[in-house]
Structure 1
Amino acid sequence: MKDFSDASFSPEVIEAMTAALQASTATLPEPVSSAHVQVLAESILRTAKTGEWNPAVLQRIALMELQLASRG
């Protein structure tokens, strides 16, 4: 996992990120690979760090990044 040690989030943002990760993984077919979860989590962390805290937007960006990563 990439280093996010310099990131700091309020409880509300952590809640939004958690909701986005859960919603994102729920859309994936079973079994969900840990690599896919890692890509989603890193995307959500990176996007939240830029100031985006809407769970739906975090989810959409994470799923788009996962789709792009799967093609590469």
Structure 2
Amino acid sequence: MKMLPPLEMRCLRWVLLGKTHAETALLEGKSVTEIELCLERAVVMLDATSVEDAILKANGSHSDRH
């Protein structure tokens, strides 16, 4: 599995913790658009089908349950 850059990992972690894109943007000092792009990059980098799938893959889960 590819290692994600720190910002992508943090953005996925904020989503996992239930933060909205706007809340994550405030926490990270970025715009909402930057956060959305960051999450999209994480999905692509992890060859995931969604942000939720990317979170599972980033956490090392190889489950095929959907």
Per the normalisation by structure 2, the TM-score is 0.32
Q: TM-score, normalised by structure 1?
A: 0.30
Structure number with greater CO (CA < 8 Å, separation at least 6) is 1
More helix by share: 1
